[in-house]
Structure 1
């Protein structure tokens, strides 16, 4: 006859051992593929990280598929305006089943209407980072500043990054705890409320008033 201690011992002995999560690992363009590997302890989700950058009319994407901790899977996307046609966005999507494939992340649309705020902007991989003002748009009411550290196979590049962003983007970058993207980290992160630019925000009726003005000018010359 088995005693209670013996039965308890058998119960824990016969429990199935946990199997670590397996995810696809790769980085590159939007079509990157890689081997499936077991995730380290504490990383309980498969993720796709997407970063999109704009420089004028040029657009580029960087994708990474990797293991991650599920607590960052519900963070809001990042959207930073750097001025002079430069900006970057980032987002992550996750799944938590073994060998699962996360949905491709969606990126937010950038607002184009000035909101009355202004921030210093800079994006430079050199120590000389001349700041220029950028007029913020939409919900971007914070000035963001950080240094992006990227390791290209032993060659480290530090890029000073400053611009306009939203409160949710600031919270996301803070909760990433320094890791913006696999192979990249951020340091010296600060988010401060943007100052008023002195420019009046556009009125919702401005297009209508402009149309009336154009009609008046047209009538005056006919």
Structure 2
């Protein structure tokens, strides 16, 4: 009986190891590439590369390689407001250490095919109010309403409020997939269907 239990334990350990995957892990803000070390990921995980584009006066690219904690692969997180743009793209793969690609962001869709959202921005924790609107880029975009504080890729602390078009993935995952844009305080982040 003891030998049967030992055999089952060995088979179980071998099966778990066979399902595990190794992925490169690194993160580099304000860069198009990073050098990663290979790490063992949890059972049935994918490797991912996260690409971030942040434009607010300056343009920053950032990259992260890691095990995927459950973010949708191929998903594009985006938000645009006047002269500010944030885009995050996540690409996944399923072979050991396959997440080797350097920075690449799909081209922005300049043809706006979505519905209309209110648009305004301001500094501080007071809600911005405006009669201005914009047509969203994608038909699936939602109207975002945010008040909070974050650190941008240039290490500037920004207290902002805005209303603009945002992707559904941005509404669901908020700042979690972001690399160099770190939220410090969230007063409000609501998403509603556009008109």
Fold match, TM over 0.5?
yes
In the other structure, the counterpart of 1:220 is none
Rg larger in structure: 1
2:6 to 6, 9, 13: 9
> CA distance change for structure 1 residues 25 and 123 in 2, over 3 Å: closer, same or farther?
farther
Is the CA contact 1:142–1:193 (under 8 Å) kept in the aligned structure 2? Answer: yes
Deviation at 1:32, TM superposition (A): 2.6
1:159 and 1:42 mapped to 2: Cα distance?
Answer: 39
Q: 1:50-61 alignment to 2 at 5 Å?
A: 50-55=51-56, 60-61=59-60
**Quick one: higher RCO (CA 8 Å, sep 6+), 1 or 2?**
2
CA RMSD between the two structures: 3.7
Q: Which residue of 1 is the match for residue 63 of structure 2?
A: 64
Q: Which residue of 2 aligns with 1:98?
A: 96
Q: SS of the counterpart of 2:7?
A: helix
- Mapped pair 1:44 → 2:41: no
What is the TM-score normalised by the length of structure 1? Answer: 0.61
CA offsets 1:150-180 (integer angstroms, 9 cap, x no match): 388xx783543534325xx12x124426403
* Cα distance in structure 1, aligned partners of 2:87 and 2:190: 18
Q: 1:163 to 1:81 in 2, by over 3 A?
A: farther
Q: Between Structure 1 and Structure 2, how many residues are aligned?
A: 183
Q: Deviations over 1:96-140 (max 9, x none)?
A: 33222254554352334586624132164x446754424224436
Which residues of 2 match residues 92-131 of structure 1 at below 5 A?
Answer: 92-103=90-101, 104-113=103-112, 117-122=116-121, 124=123, 126-127=124-125, 130-131=128-129
What CA distance in whole angstroms lies between the structure 2 residues aligned with 1:42 and 1:159?
Answer: 39
CA distance in 2, matches of 1:136, 1:88: 17
Q: C-alpha separation between the residues in 2 aligned to 1:54 and 1:112?
A: 19
Q: Which residue of 2 aligns with 1:143?
A: 143
Larger % of helix: which? Answer: 1
What is the distance in 2 between the residues matched to 1:128 and 1:66? 37
1:28 equivalent in structure 2:
29
Structure 1, unaligned stretches of length 5 or more?
Answer: 196-222
Name 2:157's counterpart in structure 1.
Answer: 157
SS at match of 1:71: coil
- Preserved contact between residue 23 and residue 41 of structure 2 (Cα < 8 Å): no
- Shift in alpha-carbon separation, 1:138–1:100, aligned structure 2, 3 A: closer
